[in-house]
Amino acid sequence: MLSIDKLRVSYGQSEVVHGVSLDLKPNEIVAVMGRNGMGKTTLMKSLMGIVPSGEGAIKLDGNSIEKKESYQRVEDGLAFVPQGRMIFSTMTVTENIETGLTVTGKSKVPEDIYELFPVLKEMKSRRGGNLSGGQQQQLAIARALASNPKVLLLDEPTEGIQPSIIKEMARTLRKIRDERGLSIIVSEQVLSFALDIADRVLVIENGEIVHESNREDIDAEKVSAFLSV
Amino acid sequence: MIGDYTYVEFSSILAMQGFAGLSLFSVFVLMALGLAIIFGQMGVINMAHGEFMILGAYVTYFCSLFFQEYLPSLFGIYFFIAMILAFFVSGALGVVVEWLMIRHLYKRPLDTLLATWGLSLILQQFYRSVFGAREVGVTLPDWLLGSISLTDIIDVPINGLFVMAITLTITLGVAFIMYKSTWGKQIRAVVQNRTMAGAVGINTKMVDRMTYGLGCGIAGVAGSAFTMIGSTGPTAGQLYIVDTFLVVVFGGAASLLGTIASAFTISQAQSTMEFFMSGSTAKVLTLLTVVGILMLRPQGLFTLKIRR
């Protein structure tokens, strides 16, 4: 579905991601784990075209997208839920979701999005900035889903969210995957969440993938050793 | 008796000055609407806003000459055509300017001040060289001349009413575009977080260009309306740019309603006081009051209440 080949990303002269390769299969959820400063967010941003990528190729459904602008990547089927949510805080909940509809050409929020996140329907005309952290996270996911993506990128979705809602979120994301048949890349630091949701876990350290295993045969201790400081 | 006036005279003076204030209010709103979009929403300090306005005024002037010369039978409606033309000419110049200059400066808002100030000097000289340094005035069609007498003393000029009607229409149009249309949603999303707007699928560069164009286009229409009130010269825009910024900042930069409320307050205060004291004293008093209020309330009159 999404294939990344020897991707290199740098900020000015300093290279942060050193040749990461990753093949995301259709309907698969991959968790990219790693400590702070190891390149998770940079990887996500370069996939989305927010940070320009240096060498390497990114292919979505066989089409090269590494030279495209962010909005064109969304047209091709990528969607992004950034770290810190980044919802449009002065716009209402409905308007926030509607911004995600831009590439579909629709103007009304499809009902199935509200079915996934009933709380957003209740809060419809509240300003996004006045929602709680967990609600904002749901809003950010709803906004991303509005563009009907093939691949969903989530950057540290559990950051700053209480444990019970994290469980709930894992369930919702799996449900979204099953219902819509999309693929998900999620970057994470919380191992339990990753094990809950992912089919495959990768560990990124200093901008390189250093460990990879399927969920069935994952060595949780080894992964958590990578994550501990 | 108040001073040398009877009560009837005094209240009529207040009413007429109030109406003159409303005309001024209309022009302020028209000018400030464009700037509220460009400065309030996009954060670009557009010092050339007055020159975009004057471009609209020149378009109206040439339109009136053209109709007088070639289509005298349609002279009565030339003003509407002139306004539409003014919108598109100023808007088109805005799009070009955005492409040449502004788009490189979104991350450096203070530099837009310098760049657009330079642009305003260039445009002024351009007008002077091409259209001549002399001020020009348009000929109004007959139905816009004269006034309606409400009482023996109170006279209301028709062109003032016309400007108000235009202002109302355009204000409603802008409010609709910004708050109801898909384009408006995209504008607000881009303004709030350009990177994220791109990542949800909005073509941010296109939205920026069209938004700047819209703001400049509205300035053009303001200039068109302006020809009914003052004469048009290469530097006439300069006189109004300070007032316009004052209105937008006083109203609270991101709020359309605030812009309107502040235009109303400033124009009414100014025109009522102007009758009783000299113009410059009135201006000083207005400025002092606004400065005082802004010191107490730096965010302007109206702001959105959200968690930051």
Determine the average pLDDT of the residues in A173-202: 91
pTM above 0.90, yes or no: no
What is the per-residue pLDDT for A43? 92
Determine the average pLDDT of the residues in B168-184: 90
Q: How confident is the model at residue B306 (pLDDT cuts 50, 70, 90)?
A: low
Q: Is A127 left (phi over 0), alpha (psi -120 to 50) or beta?
A: beta
Min Cα separation A55/chain B (Å): 21
Contact B100, B115 (CB under 8 A): no
Q: Do B182 and A98 touch (CB under 8 A)?
A: yes
Q: How confident is the model at residue B299 (pLDDT cuts 50, 70, 90)?
A: confident
Which chain B residues are closer than 8 Å to A86 by Cβ? 193, 195-196
What is the per-residue pLDDT for B243? 83
What is the per-residue pLDDT for B283? 84
- Does the structure show a pLDDT above 60 at B14? yes
The residue assigned the tokens 């990303």 is A9
A10-31 pLDDT tens trace: 888 888 999 899 999 999 999 9
Q: Is A9 on the interface with B (CB under 8 A)?
A: no
- Neighbour tally for A73: CB within 10 Å: 27
In a domain, B2, yes or no: no
Range of B148's domain? 21-296
Q: Do B306 and A88 touch (CB under 8 A)?
A: no
| CB neighbour class for A13 (10 Å; exposed up to 12, middle 13-18, buried from 19) | exposed
Determine the average pLDDT of the residues in B286-293: 87
B111 compared with B298, residue with greater pLDDT: B111
- Does the structure show a pLDDT above 90 at B135? no
In a domain, B3, yes or no: no
Instruction: Please name the residues between 164 and 203 in chain A that touch chain B, using a CB distance below 8 Å.
Output: none
User: What is the Cα–Cα distance from B159 to B137, expressed in whole angstroms?
Assistant: 14
Q: Do A143 and B200 touch (CB under 8 A)?
A: yes
| CB neighbour class for B51 (10 Å; exposed up to 12, middle 13-18, buried from 19) | buried
What is the per-residue pLDDT for B215? 92
The mean predicted confidence, pLDDT, of chain A is: 90
The DSSP call for residue B41 is I
Determine the average pLDDT of the residues in A128-145: 92
Q: Do B202 and A69 touch (CB under 8 A)?
A: no
- Does the structure show a pLDDT above 60 at A110? yes
Q: Which of B41, B182, B196, B200 to mutate to test the interface with A (most CBs of A within 10 A)?
A: B200
Q: Is B147 left (phi over 0), alpha (psi -120 to 50) or beta?
A: beta
Q: Do A89 and B307 touch (CB under 8 A)?
A: yes
What is the per-residue pLDDT for B77? 85
Determine the average pLDDT of the residues in B217-240: 86
Q: Is A98 on the interface with B (CB under 8 A)?
A: yes
Q: How confident is the model at residue B197 (pLDDT cuts 50, 70, 90)?
A: very high
Q: Which residue of B has its CA nearest to A92?
A: B185
In a domain, B306, yes or no: no
Min Cα separation B132/chain A (Å): 45
Q: How confident is the model at residue B19 (pLDDT cuts 50, 70, 90)?
A: confident
Classify A109 as helix, strand or coil.
coil
What is the per-residue pLDDT for B253? 66
Mode of pairing for the β-strands spanning A29-33 and A200-205: parallel
The total of structural domains in chain B comes to 1
Q: Which residue of B has its CA nearest to A104?
A: B201
- Does the structure show a pLDDT above 80 at A132? yes
Q: Do B198 and A50 touch (CB under 8 A)?
A: yes
Q: Which residue of A has its CA nearest to B206?
A: A71
Q: For residue B306, give the nearest of A74, A127, A144 by CB distance.
A: A127
Q: For residue B202, give the nearest of A102, A127, A130 by CB distance.
A: A102
Q: Do B196 and A86 touch (CB under 8 A)?
A: yes
- Does the structure show a pLDDT above 90 at B258? no
| pLDDT over 90 percentage in chain A | 53
Q: How confident is the model at residue B191 (pLDDT cuts 50, 70, 90)?
A: confident
Q: How confident is the model at residue B305 (pLDDT cuts 50, 70, 90)?
A: low
Min Cα separation B208/chain A (Å): 14
What is the per-residue pLDDT for B138? 84
Q: Do B198 and A86 touch (CB under 8 A)?
A: no
- Does the structure show a pLDDT above 90 at B107? no
Which chain A residues are closer than 8 Å to B185 by Cβ? 91, 95, 98-99
Structural domain boundaries in chain A: 1-77+157-229, 84-148
Min Cα separation A50/chain B (Å): 7
Q: Which residue of B has its CA nearest to A107?
A: B182
- Does the structure show a pLDDT above 80 at A187? yes
Q: Residue A1 has which token pair?
A: 């579905």
What is the per-residue pLDDT for B282? 84
What is the per-residue pLDDT for B307? 60
Q: For residue B189, give the nearest of A75, A99, A107 by CB distance.
A: A99
Determine the average pLDDT of the residues in A84-109: 91
Classify A154 as helix, strand or coil.
strand
- Does the structure show a pLDDT above 90 at B1? no
Q: Do B201 and A74 touch (CB under 8 A)?
A: yes
User: What is the Cα–Cα distance from A33 to A223, expressed in whole angstroms?
Assistant: 8
What is the per-residue pLDDT for B265? 86
Classify A25 as helix, strand or coil.
coil
Architecture of domain A1-77+157-229: 3-Layer(aba) Sandwich (3.40)
User: What is the Cα–Cα distance from A131 to B107, expressed in whole angstroms?
Assistant: 28
User: What is the Cα–Cα distance from A204 to A34, expressed in whole angstroms?
Assistant: 5
Min Cα separation A54/chain B (Å): 19
The mean predicted confidence, pLDDT, of chain B is: 86
Q: Do B198 and A49 touch (CB under 8 A)?
A: yes
User: What is the Cα–Cα distance from B222 to B224, expressed in whole angstroms?
Assistant: 5
Mode of pairing for the β-strands spanning A2-11 and A57-60: antiparallel
Q: How confident is the model at residue B308 (pLDDT cuts 50, 70, 90)?
A: low
What is the per-residue pLDDT for B2? 66
Q: Which residue of B has its CA nearest to A82?
A: B196
Q: Report the complex ipTM.
A: 0.88
Which chain B residues are closer than 8 Å to A127 by Cβ? 304, 306
